Amino acid sequence: MLYLDHNAASPLRPQALEAMLPWLRPGAVNAGSQHRAGQAARAALEDARQAVAAALGGSPRGWAFTSGATEACNLALQGLVRPGGRALLLGATEHPAVAATAAALAAQGCTVETLPVGPEGTLDLGALDAALGRHPGALLALMLANNETGVMHPLREAAQRARRAGGLCFSDLSQAVGKAGVEVEALGLDAAALSCQKFGGPQGSGLLWVKPGVAVQPLLHGGHQERGLRPGTEAIAQAAGAAAALGQALADLPAQSRRWELAQQVLDAGLKRLHPRWQLHGAGAPRVPNTVCASLVGLDSDLLLMRLDQLGLQASAGAACAAGSREPSPVLLAMGASAAAARSALRLSLGPGQGEDEAHQALRCMAAALDGFRQAGLLDQ
């Protein structure tokens, strides 16, 4: 099987497993305990935090381990936005972890405004300026790389504009870390979230970074763990695995990025050769190099994905969190795609070690699938 669904989850890296094993075997203890075993666990946790800060910037104390990016996004947004307080501005192509949290805040009486994107999926900076004029001091929530299209927003510029208006900037970095250079302070962020499974860390692990001096109200109450921001016994194995995976992902990035770039070019051109009606989404904008999103209007994406799976290619129709939904992709609709195109989207996302060979293999599977649909009268020539 050829697995090209790494934007949903990238398999656990061997380095992450190796780092986790000592904390999964009998004898693992609570990092809050005062005995030697507990202090060894505390040291491992802080070593992981130091490694994350060295890789992504910011003070180690600013990084908190969470159960995933969804929890981290909720912590940041609900901890910074309150009814009667600062407004929340978000891009129209945000992940549901942000968009659904924004909807919940709006239902509580918070001021929330969604900002449009252009046809290639990048934020309309003019619309941002206008919104900041209406809501000075607002929190801007803007992802760096989109999970469906791979399109990268002008995050640094947007954060600067938010700051000039007296506001803050939060970013979901989940799809950018391990695929592009990321440094939280250089981007001008005040808070950031990410999912560790996207770069080969353990599932059920995430990170939240909060800039010193930015006050985030916790969602949960209990112990003092993670400076009280995320109380509960720390998962040492998850933290160790996440840090090891992150370090390996960044060490591999220069060479791997070039392999992905070549594969992306092969896929972009190859899909158009297979059928002229393929629509590439966001191909005219900066993208993370591992992602291709395209639609073949008139061909049901669920049917295509099932046939590709039979032929040995595992891919997705877009966001994994929306799997099974017959609603068109909100991301593609926001970019101006038709409902038919948004329902027929295919996402191919490469992972570690993959490149041109996997791109050509994917195109062979795609050619076989399309030939079968033509023969069955389900697709025109």
Packing angle, helices 236-274 and 356-375, rounded to 10: 50
Please tell me whether residue 323 adopts helix, strand or coil conformation: coil
H-state helical runs in 177-292: 236-274
Are the C-beta atoms of residues 236 and 44 closer than 8 Å to each other? Answer: yes
- Fill in the amino acid letter for 160: Q
Residue 373: CA atoms inside 13 Å, Cβ hemisphere, count? Answer: 23
User: Partners of 191 in the beta sheet?
Assistant: 170, 210
Which residues are within 8 A (CB) of 313 and not within 5 positions of it... i.e. 6 or more apart? 1, 2, 4, 361, 362, 365, 366
Which residues are within 8 A (CB) of 111 and not within 5 positions of it... i.e. 6 or more apart? 87, 88, 135
Query: With left for phi above 0 and alpha for psi between -120 and 50, is residue 336 left, alpha or beta?
Result: left
The DSSP symbol for 170 reads: E
Distance CA 341, CA 178 (A): 29
Distance CA 14, CA 269 (A): 33
| Distance, CA of 72 to chain centre | 12
Distance CA 20, CA 236 (A): 8
Q: Name the residues annotated as catalytic.
A: 321
